[in-house]
Structure 1
């Protein structure tokens, strides 16, 4: 009995990795390959075979994690957007009574993260077609995150609907400016862009203070 158990344990481990570790490693390789391919090509030019070849995994392993190519794109897009929001949130001061002091580091983090990670930037903002409904949903999610952060400076608002619409207008506007910046090769100064975005955000939100 112990011999059979030992064989089972050896079967679970290969090249120093457990089955769970190998599964997680394959998924990471697939999403990393997809990130690179979706950043450099249009969605229609990337096939499941391309992703598997880049990740060096068999197709059967791809379908253990993703239903199809669209499911992969949605997953990669969501993970990259979550990464960006986490970075912006981490940059926001824990406490701030001043709206400008709160907004400036958030916008600086947004632009810096995108500038330093152009592949992620393109996947989040550029090379994700056929996702208009998802894009709108993400704008609302982003607005909610920004709302939680800026309440440190603006406090609770009696006119909640006004605040929600202002935040939605803000994140939609910021997204369009960022898309324009990325599309032109990020040629303009990131610091200048962050300053401009902070100014736009302050202009929209200042009347709420």
Structure 2
């Protein structure tokens, strides 16, 4: 028997041994446990808040022992970070999908994108709490620059949105980047206030408030030529 053949047989035996529990390999079972912990974390953190939830609480929710928690995560903050990034991806995808499915009319694109953002938050209060309340308070996310990187991702998304709305905008990339950062901060602060209030203000009013700055941007950059002409005539 060659070394190659022996190695192949050993690998096959290992694979067979791995698939002894419900047809799943060891790595597949580990991934399944990890997903259960993530779902349990969304439920627990999103309902009670990060600082009121322990590793034991997460394990009880997931119906797993604590040793399985530490199999996938070193500490609570690591699980929370994983959940935060997962929910941010979901939120961003919902917004982008709504924008791309809207008509080419700039105002309708603004309404579609912001409506998707607000509806996602209202329909998923656990997500909203994790992203807009607890994440701002978990120091680990700030230490690892997770919050900064996430805000930058939304800055870039809004940057692309501005270019999509106004492809002929007469501004430098650096100026548009700063504008996108401002728009992101504006909408984020409104979203935080709305979530923390328990969605007391009607969504139509929140949507109108968020839309105002985007509509003002459209008006501002659609008039400069006519304003310049007036100035020349004077």
Q: TM-score, normalised by structure 1?
A: 0.87
Change (3 A) 1:126 1:70: same
Alignment partner of 1:150 is 2:157: no
For residue 162 of structure 1, the aligned residue among 152, 175, 180 is 175
User: How far did residue 33 of structure 1 move?
Assistant: 0.9
Change (3 A) 1:7 1:180: closer
User: Is the Cα contact below 8 Å between 2:102 and 2:108 reproduced in 1?
Assistant: no
Q: Partner residue of 1:138?
A: 150
Q: How many residues align?
A: 208
User: How far did residue 109 of structure 1 move?
Assistant: 0.4
Of structures 1 and 2, the one with the larger relative CO (CA 8 A, separation 6+) is 1
Q: Partner residue of 1:198?
A: 211
User: Is the Cα contact below 8 Å between 2:18 and 2:24 reproduced in 1?
Assistant: no
Q: Partner residue of 1:111?
A: 118
Change (3 A) 1:177 1:7: closer
Q: Partner residue of 1:14?
A: 21
User: Is the Cα contact below 8 Å between 1:143 and 1:168 reproduced in 2?
Assistant: yes
In angstroms, what is the RMSD of aligned CA positions? Answer: 2.5
Inter-partner Cα distance in structure 2 for 1:138 and 1:11: 38
User: How far did residue 198 of structure 1 move?
Assistant: 1.8
